[in-house]
Amino acid sequence: MPLIENGKLVEDRFTRVADQDEAGQVPPLPASTPVLLSLDRYLKEADALANAYVEVGLIWPNNKPIAEIAPYLPRLALVALHFPTFRDGRAYSQARLLRERLGWKGPLRATGNVLRDQFLIMSRAGFDQIVPSKEADAQAFDDAMHSYTVFYQPTGDGRKSLLRARLGRAATRLEDQASKDRGAAA
Amino acid sequence: MYVYDEFDRAFLAERVADFRDQVERRLSGALTEDEFKPLRLMNGVYLQLHAYMLRIAIPYGTLSSNQLRRMAHVARVYDRGYGHFTTRQNIQFNWIKLEDLPQAMADLAEVGVHGIQTSGNCIRNVTTDQWAGATPEEFDDPRIWAEILRQYSTFHPEFTYLPRKFKIAITAAPKDRAATKVHDVGLRLHRNAEGELGFEVLVGGGLGRTPFVGKSIRPFLPVRHVLSYIEAIMRVYNQFGRRDNIYKARIKILVHEIGAEAFAEAVEAEWANIRDGALKLTDEIIDDIRARFLYPDFAKLEDQPAELTAALEDPRFAAWYRNSVHKHKVPGYSIVTISLKPVGAPPGDATADQMDVVADLADAYGFHEIRVGHEQNLCLPNVAQMDLPELWRQLDAAGLATPNVNHISDIIACPGLDYCALANARAIPVAQEISKRFADLDRSRGIGRLHVNISGCINACGHHHVGHIGILGVEKNGQEFYQITLGGRADEHAQLGTLLGPAVSYDQVPGLIEDIVDAYLELRSSPKELFVDTVHRLGVEPFKERVYATH
């Protein structure tokens, strides 16, 4: 699957290691490549991982309070948050809390059912890595990110929000506005 | 009213372009219907029984004459010549073609109107008192706060895929015309002992299949904290609201399951982290939004001018005046309700021609402004009393002067089985038949204030739980039956109605309602005691005995 990081298609350095393979066996961790693990697997291997010199990414479940990730953060090279379906928006709150409250500065990846119509709000919530579900969506990344230039509310993403941008501007009277509208419609 | 600036206009243009692209991708197959559905819903596009339906937001119920004229245009060009005003200060067009939708939206966007977040699992159109800015009862203009919330909630990156839809209502008057106690969040603006403005915050109210009256989780929230506090509520709900069952996903279920106290604790804990952050409103920001609401240049006038006194000699004008005209905060002006409930017509419908008439009258007599109330009527909030006689003549000529506001024939009804894919039973024809039975205005005046609410299914879009008389359509063995509840109310004393007895068939409903009214006339302590107060005093039993004895 393609990986987009900060707007560019990049090679995924991390290997997703499953909890179990098809035969029901626990697949071994590769010796030297960075690994991306579920929370279960990560907790089981905590000791081994602490002694190995591999970079570790953690997939945090979307039904577990994100505050509980805090003790592990210093040891992680990547955090992934999951969208089981694009309609399940819990990971947006997790992402903002991770960035804005827990101070996570490392890469934050959106995985699961990730579609182009959500790229921009994912970025606003703090994701800088996106794994699109569809190849065509990856190609449209740039368009999707630039479909809006106006943002009403502040998040931690640094984009300027309207709450303050419009200060000090004068309003036009309704009658003037109405004649302007008529002009625009004509 | 609030004036959109180039930022709002740029956003709307981007939104229209975005939706046009989504429709193209749907038509080309790049988007599945499953993927397209939430996108179209968040632009107000539903798939109904017969066609796509477009729901347009009327933020806090305020429209300019030009915006209403553009709605008439959409009704005429893309629909069948009429629109339906809903209980949430929206308007719906029921017969629009998918391929026409982007153009209809572009036409509306030119006058700053859109369907954004009128559907989908996001923060919906924030509603308030249709008398805002005009009534002498209010502590402040609630639309200032509704507008601040509208901006905050528009395309919110964190709260666009909530467990379920989310509705916020605001009242700034002790008399609640916005049904704040039956919303996901209700905000009641008032002043504390020090004279500071703040909100009482209610959560977890709502109707539908599991109705609840909202619970107060904070008696006083200073207004500058409103956004951070709402964000805390939304964040708790987004993380912990149920997603396993669509019928248990509203915030009211979360509040009910963990208890209002535990919910309030979670909100307060979250809020403590963000209350002094980027969402804290400075006086500068509040003043800026306030300055964008432009009020009419009211003339210095006296109450009860000679033109009005003379016109009151005409009993038809006098009947309308007593029913549909309300006290304004500026001397010499009045608030006028325009009934969209002519006897025998679908409640809340207006033809394109009627919309044009109202827009023209707003230009001539109402400072270009129109309001929409949750009772599915329109309102001209700022009319000089000397203009009332001429306004009435023109409304009357257009069939818009039925003096039945708050009467039994001023019925709130959902579209029901005539339009809606979810409905089990018809609602509109039931309303039409009841209003015919009570067409005699002397009789309905004698009955006094009586709200009838009709829903065609358990989703309760007609708010039947909070009708003084509530009527709920259900289906039994392929036939329409109706459950009747009494004693509900949506105002500051909000409560849910009590079931009267077994459901009755479609044909029996109007007769049953007449029997209930007859029982009330017999049981009331005096003509001053409203129907709902009689029910409150006596319970439903005496009604049940009388009504079912005759059926």
Helix, coil or strand: residue B169: strand
Query: Tokens at residue A65, please?
Result: 């309070």
Closest listed residue to residue B535, CA positions, set B431, B450, B435: B450
CA-nearest residue to A114 within chain B is B35
Query: Residue A175 is nearest to which of B38, B70, B368, comparing CB atoms?
Result: B368
Residue pair B186/B214 in contact by the 8 Å Cβ criterion: yes
User: What is the nearest CA distance from A68 to chain B, expressed in angstroms?
Assistant: 14
Q: Which two tokens stand for residue B209?
A: 């299949």
Rounded Cα gap, residues B313 and B325, in angstroms: 16
How is residue B17 written in tokens?
């372009």
Do A157 and A140 lie in a common domain? no
B38 contacts A90? CB cut-off 8 A: no
Residues of A in contact with B272 (CB under 8 A): none
In angstroms, the CA B107 to CA B74 distance is 8
Name the minimum distance, in Å, from the CA of A25 to any CA of chain B: 31
| Cα separation, A162 vs A150, whole angstroms | 7
- Are residues A154 and A105 both part of a single domain? no
CB-based contact A149 B285, cutoff 8 Å: no
Is the pLDDT confidence value at A165 over 80?
A: no
A26 plus A107 within the same structural domain: yes
Helix (H, G, I), strand (E, B) or coil at B208: coil
A159 and A85 within one domain: no
Q: In chain A, what residues touch B368 (CB-CB under 8 Å)?
A: 174-175, 178
| Domain housing A60 | 3-147
CB B335 within 8 A of CB B401: no
Same domain, A95 and A182: no
Give the integer Cα–Cα distance in Å for B57 and B115: 5
Q: How far is A176 from chain B (nearest CA, A)?
A: 10
Q: How many CB atoms lie within 10 A of CB A24?
A: 6
Of B35, B158, B285, the CB nearest to A115: B35
Find chain A residues with C-beta within 8 A of B64's C-beta: 174, 177-178
What 3-state DSSP class applies to B128? strand
Q: Does A86 touch chain B (CB under 8 A)?
A: yes
Contact A174 B369 (CB under 8 A): yes
* Nearest CB to A167; choose among B1, B111, B285: B285
- Residue A49's pLDDT band, with cuts at 50, 70 and 90, is confident
Q: What's the token pair of residue B244?
A: 């396993």
Half-sphere exposure of B378 (CA within 13 A, CB side): 32
Q: Which of A174, A175, A180, A181 to mutate to test the interface with B (most CBs of B within 10 A)?
A: A174
Question: Could B11 and A86 be called an inter-chain contact, meaning their C-beta atoms sit closer than 8 Å?
Answer: no
- Taking an 8 Å cut-off on Cβ atoms, the answer to whether B158 and A152 are in contact is no
As a whole number of angstroms, the longest Cα–Cα distance in chain A is 74
**A155 lies in the same domain as A143:** no
CATH code (residue A117): 3.20.20.70
For B66, residues 6+ apart whose C-beta sits below 8 A from its C-beta are: A178, A181, A182, B111, B359, B368
> How far, CA to CA in Å, does B209 sit from each of A25, B249, B458, B460, B544?
47, 12, 5, 7, 24
Q: List the 19-58 stretch of A: residues with Cβ below 8 A of B.
A: none
CB B430 within 8 A of CB B452: no
Contact indicator for A85, B35 with CB cutoff of 8 Å: no
Q: Do B7 and A150 touch (CB under 8 A)?
A: yes
* Cβ contacts of A65 on chain B, cutoff 8 Å: 239
C-alpha separations of B82 from A84, B79, B85, B413 in Å: 42, 7, 10, 17
Please tell me the total count of domains within chain A: 2
Candidates B488, B484, B476; CA nearest to B508 is: B484
User: How many residues in chain A?
Assistant: 186
**Closest Cα in chain A, distance from residue B235 (Å):** 6
For residue A81, the distance in angstroms to the closest alpha carbon of chain B comes to 13
Tokens of B194: 């020090």
- CA pair distance B350, A69, nearest whole angstrom: 55
Contacts of residue B151 in chain A, CB cutoff 8 Å?
Answer: 152-153, 162-163
* Minimal-distance CA residue of chain B relative to A160: B278
> What backbone torsions phi and psi does residue B107 show, to the nearest 5 degrees?
-60, -45
Whether the Cβ atoms of residue A122 and residue A80 lie closer than 8 Å to each other: no
A40 and A126 co-located in one domain: yes
DSSP secondary structure of B374-441: TTS-EEEEEEEGGGHHHHHHHHHHTT-----TTSTTS-EE--GGGT-SS-SS--HHHHHHHHHHT--H
Given a contact cutoff of 8 angstroms between Cβ atoms, the answer to whether B324 and B336 are in contact is yes
- Measuring CA to CA, which residue among A2, A1, A9 is closest to residue A142? A9
Given A96, A149, A152, which is nearest B152 (Cβ)? A152
Nearest CB to A174; choose among B1, B22, B70: B1
Render B462-477 in DSSP notation, one character per residue. T-GGGSSEEEEEEEET
Are A142 and A179 in the same domain?
Answer: no
Q: How far is A118 from chain B (nearest CA, A)?
A: 9
Q: Confirm if A124 and A148 have CB atoms less than 8 A apart.
A: no
**In this structure, is the dihedral angle defined by the CA atoms of residues B169, B175, B181 and B186, taken in order, positive or negative?**
positive
Mutate which: B239, B287, B289, vs A, most A CBs within 10 A: B239
Chain B contact for A92, CB < 8 A?
yes
Closest CA to B81 of B316, B417, B354, B319: B354
Nearest to A174 among B3, B227, B288 (CB): B3
CA angle A152, A155, A158 (to 5 degrees): 95
Pairs of CB atoms within 8 A across A/B: 134
State pLDDT tens for residues A130-163: 999 998 898 889 999 999 988 999 898 888 888 7
Phi-psi region for residue B399, left (φ > 0), alpha (ψ -120 to 50) or beta?
Answer: left
Closest in B7, B30, B161 to A162, CB measured? B7
- CA R_g for chain B: 23
| Shared-domain flag, residues A25 and A80 | yes
d(C-alpha B538, C-alpha B522), whole Å: 12
Q: What is the pLDDT of residue A174?
A: 45
Which residue of chain B has the CA closest to A97? B235
Q: pTM above 0.80?
A: yes
Q: Are residues A102 and A179 in the same domain?
A: no
> Are residue A33 and residue A114 in the same domain, yes or no?
yes
Q: How far apart are the CA of A78 and the nearest CA of chain B, in angstroms? A: 21
Can you give the pLDDT at residue A185?
44
- A30 in the same domain as A44: yes
Determine the 3-state secondary structure of B84 from DSSP. strand
- Measure B201 CA to nearest chain A CA, in Å: 21
d(CA A131, CA A134): 9
CA pair distance B285, B148, nearest whole angstrom = 9
Radius of gyration of chain A (CA): 21
- The answer to whether A153 faces chain B, any CB pair under 8 Å, is yes
pLDDT bin (cut points 50, 70, 90) of residue A184 is very low
- Beta bridge partner(s), residue A8: A5
pLDDT of residue A186: 40
- A186 lies within 8 A of chain B by CB: no
* Mutation choice for A interface testing from B161, B231, B240, B273 by most A CBs within 10 A: B161
Give pLDDT tens digits along chain B (551 positions): 677 888 888 999 999 999 999 989 988 999 998 889 888 988 899 887 777 899 999 999 999 999 999 999 999 999 999 999 988 889 999 888 888 988 999 999 999 999 998 999 999 999 999 999 999 999 999 999 999 999 999 999 999 999 999 999 999 999 999 999 999 999 999 999 999 999 999 999 999 999 999 999 999 999 999 999 999 999 999 999 999 999 999 999 999 999 999 999 999 999 999 999 999 999 999 998 999 898 999 999 999 999 999 999 999 999 999 999 999 999 999 999 999 999 888 899 999 999 999 999 999 999 999 999 989 999 999 999 999 999 999 999 999 999 999 999 999 999 899 888 899 999 999 999 999 999 999 999 999 999 999 999 999 999 999 999 999 999 999 999 999 999 999 999 999 999 999 999 999 999 999 999 999 999 999 999 999 999 999 999 999 998 887 65
In tens, the pLDDT along A62-76 reads 999 999 999 999 999
Chain A residue whose CA is closest to B161: A89
ipTM: 0.92
Selecting from A87, A90, A121 the residue whose C-beta is nearest the C-beta of B238 gives: A90
pLDDT of residue A159: 85
Report the distance separating Cα A133 and Cα A119, nearest Å: 11
Cα–Cα distance for residue pair B92/B103, rounded to 1 Å: 16
Q: Tell me how far CA of residue B439 lies from CA of B398, B408, B414, in angstroms.
A: 18, 9, 21
Residues of chain A contacting B235 with CB distance shorter than 8 Å: 93, 97
pLDDT at residue A176 in the model: 53
**How many angstroms from the chain centroid is the CA of residue B340?**
14
